Amino acid sequence: MFNNVIVRVPSKSISEGITSAHEGKPIYEVALVQHENYVSALTKCGVEVTVLEPKEEFPDSCFVEDVALCTSKCAIITRPGAESRREEAQLEDMHQALSKFYENIEKIEEPGTIEAGDIMMVGDHYYIGLSERTNQEGANQMISILEKYGLSGETVSLDEMLHLKTGLAYLENNNLLVAGEFKNKEAFDKFNKVEVELNEAYGANCIWVNDKVIVPEGYPNVQSKIENLGYEVLTVDTSEFRKIDGGLSCLSLRF
């Protein structure tokens, strides 16, 4: 169960965020409303939400998931692979927010790079995607820190997706949403895999929060498959964040 969530309000500079999508620039005013609806959905899941102020100098800073991993034992400050996001991981208000909840705060050091969008938690075990943003050194450091606290981790190679959680979502109870290259990854064979079609691949980035599942709006097949597993589904429009390669999980730290 999750008790707390940290989010950051999008900045007006969001239109300058890093993107590989070809869907135009996000509209700030619309992104702001979508973010408010996202926070509202989280609140319905029974968590306390800490809302951090926008940071104009960091267009991608609403994607707080990438700058820290929050575990049951410690928080780990990452070192993002995207150079323009490195300083985000050092923002004082994020460190202050984490220190309210964690006595133990660790951090990844150079030359390691890792973004927590590449990390999927399954109980006390963490799957770490090796991607353009997360290198082997970063993964090794992360696994070493996890093991220090009695947790564990393993790496999974990525060939197509930006982040591990771009195409995966663990919904607890052994249920795993899988899209694209992850459908046949041996590492996930033990799960009850729920396959997401290519045309709804973006919808695979859902988040389980206390027996409810928040699903991006506009992906009816994904929504139906999750409802058929017995979960209550909440939908949130994240279309503006999709324009800069962001999804539901990217927008919060949940612990």
Q: Which helix (H) or strand (E) holds 146?
A: helix 136-148
Please name every residue paired with 144 in a beta bridge, in sequence order, or none if there are none.
none
CA dist 156 and 182 (Å) reads 10
- Rounded to whole angstroms, what are the CA distances from 26 to 17, 60, 78, 133? 9, 11, 26, 22
> Looking at residue 27, what DSSP letter applies?
P
* Tokens representing residue 27 in the block: 């509209």
Concatenated DSSP letters of 147-197: HHTT-EEEEEE-SS-SSGGGSEEE-STTEEEEEGGGGG-GGGTTSEEEEE-
Query: Is 45 among the residues known to form the active site?
Result: no
Q: Are strands 207-209 and 212-216 parallel, antiparallel or unpaired?
A: antiparallel
Q: Where are the alpha helices (DSSP H) in 26-131?
A: 28-44, 92-101
Query: Is 250 among the residues known to form the active site?
Result: yes
Name the catalytic one among 45, 74, 163, 206: 163
User: In angstroms, what is the C-alpha Rg of the chain?
Assistant: 17
Q: Is 136 helix (H, G, I), strand (E, B) or coil?
A: helix
Name the catalytic one among 45, 62, 206, 250: 250
Q: Is 89 helix (H, G, I), strand (E, B) or coil?
A: helix
**If 0-12 CB within 10 Å is exposed, 13-18 middle and 19+ buried, where does residue 226 land?**
buried
Please name every residue paired with 113 in a beta bridge, in sequence order, or none if there are none.
none
Name the percent of the chain in helix, strand, coil, to the closest 5: 35, 25, 40
The residues assigned a catalytic role are 163, 250
